[in-house]
Amino acid sequence: DRAPAELGVQGGLAQSFWNLLVPSASHRHDALAFYLASSEPPIQGRRELASWFLLNDSDLPLRRDALSWLMQQEAPVESGQPLSDDTTVLLGWLLARDKSPRMRQEIALALAPRRGDPVRGLLLRASLDSDRRVSDVANAALRHFDPPTASEFATLETEVRTPSLPPWTQALDGRVPL
């Protein structure tokens, strides 16, 4: 059907919203790329849409591109500015709970060039991952930070904050095959 009104999409883009919900992963991927590249939806709506797909879709290439797009919305790496709180919470949750080691590895790779305490905390969490594809990337990235202490690992936050999504995304839940 049409896009949820709260997303702020009008006209033909709103009428073609159903393309984001079809069973074909390549079709969903193309539709998401089109939506994220469009200047019509407000940037916050596009961030929310990318986050929803990152959390809910089963297609790794689509999720990787949603992650890449979200990271491009953050301050440039060379600026030294920290990640936004929403992105930090989302990536922390995915590192702790996502079932796909390849997706967790993609997150560690996306964090590797960045700096700052939130990134260090995410990389510390990733360094403890049971899959070496994830932990190796995180450990290599941690060489750019102060070495962690045993007490840091002992007190590493065990409770992971759950990312919040806007109410309009409830209209999408259950409509994409997981």
Task: Decide if 56 contacts 176 (C-beta within 8 A).
Answer: yes
What's the pLDDT tens digit per position in 32-80?
999 999 988 889 989 999 999 999 999 999 999 999 999 999 999 999 8
**Token couple for 14:** 């709103």
What's the pLDDT tens digit per position in 87-115?
999 999 999 999 999 999 999 999 999 99
Q: How far is C-alpha 49 from the chain's CA centre?
A: 10
Percentage of the chain modeled with pLDDT above 90: 66
pTM beyond 0.85, yes or no: yes
